Amino acid sequence: MEQYKKDFIEFMVECGVLTFGDFVTKSGRETPFFVNTGNYRTGSQLSRLSVFYAKAIMEEFQGDFDVLFGPAYKGIPLSVTTAVALSQAYDKEVAYCSNRKEIKDHGDKGILLGSKLKDGDKVVIIEDVTTAGTSIYETMPIIKANGDVDVKGLIISVDRMEKGQGEVSALKELAHKFQMKTCAIVTMDEVVEHLWNREVLGKVLIDDEMKKKIDKYYEMYRGQ
């Protein structure tokens, strides 16, 4: 595993974004881990987060894109800060674009924020996490309705590797449905590999007992 992935996992723990215990997801699944990206709250945290995203995006898409699209709401700051990080760290100039939840009928009219999409744009969608892919199913028609663009793919922070609407993982479902690349900075397999019986901030978050809980969870919900 690359060092930046290990650093990102520990960064999530430090920010209180990645936690372990007893949780229930929106879909009603009882899960031993939780990813709450709302806990990235400070300028320095968002700055570091955007650098991790920028590195992963450049690695996965090799610079073949010119627009970052961040679905409302959490994708909006991700698209903005990561566009800045790409410019500063890689001298890669990209536009940011996001959608509004409601269409604005005065001033800067329309449903889009930031750069307007135009025919031929190469778009990477940037999100926090996805369990069922709901936001992408809502976002893709908006993107396609605003230009004849080439959606190169989707990047998220953590691939939970769970079943989506069928037996395969949500990311694989999205890749097949929209014929695009889907990827993450890290997968939960990488998280477990790095944190199992390893101290972070003076505490072992995944001991043998927690590892068994995670394994049991994936026996039920791991996507193919």
Residue positions in the annotated binding site for 5-phospho-alpha-D-ribose 1-diphosphate? 26, 73-74, 100-101, 104, 106, 127-135
**What tokens appear for 201 in the block?**
């901030």
Q: Is there a catalytic annotation at residue 104?
A: yes
d(CA 188, CA 120) in angstroms, rounded, equals 34
For residue 170, which phi and psi values (nearest 5 degrees)?
-60, -40
Residue positions in the annotated binding site for orotate? 131, 160
d(CA 171, CA 130) in angstroms, rounded, equals 8
**What tokens appear for 207 in the block?**
């001991």
Q: Is there a catalytic annotation at residue 172?
A: no
Residue positions in the annotated binding site? 26, 73-74, 100-101, 104, 106, 127-135, 160
**Beta strand extents in 7-136 (DSSP E only):** 18-24, 30-35, 67-70, 95-104, 110-114, 122-126
* Catalytic residue from among 5, 6, 92, 106: 106
* Catalytic residue from among 5, 6, 92, 104: 104
- The interaxial angle of helices 170-178 and 134-145, nearest 10 deg, is 20
Write out the catalytic residue numbers: 104, 106
